[in-house]
């Protein structure tokens, strides 16, 4: 399940006027399982993984690029960046 999206990727995409390319990393949670998760209030949680990886098959799949050209040149507030991340980008993500 996906949590709240943070606006960092949106900010980079708008600054450099590039599309967002969704990527799914399949099998990585089995190769390097999360040992502990440290919760943070205003950012993504930190994770501690095993110091080694298990030999499993890994796969990376890419989705279609998501263009944000309607928002180029706009000076967005942090709240607006969150809105773009969660209301514009998130619904357009493919289900891998």
What is the SS3 assignment for 91? helix
pTM for this entry: 0.73
Q: Residue 96: pLDDT above 70?
A: no
**pLDDT tens across 22-81, in order?**
999 999 989 999 989 999 887 778 999 988 899 999 999 999 999 999 999 899 999 999
27: left (phi over 0), alpha (psi -120 to 50) or beta: left
């Amino acid at each position: 399940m996906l949590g709240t999206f943070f606006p960092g990727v949106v900010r980079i995409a708008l600054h450099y006027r590039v599309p967002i390319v969704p990527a799914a990393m399949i099998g990585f949670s089995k190769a390097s399982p999360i040992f502990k998760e440290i919760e943070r209030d205003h950012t993504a949680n930190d994770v501690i993984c095993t110091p080694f990886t298990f030999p499993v098959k890994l796969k990376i799949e890419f989705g279609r690029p998501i263009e944000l050209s309607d928002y180029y040149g706009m000076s967005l507030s942090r709240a607006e960046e969150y809105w773009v991340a969660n209301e514009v980008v998130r619904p357009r993500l493919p289900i891998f």
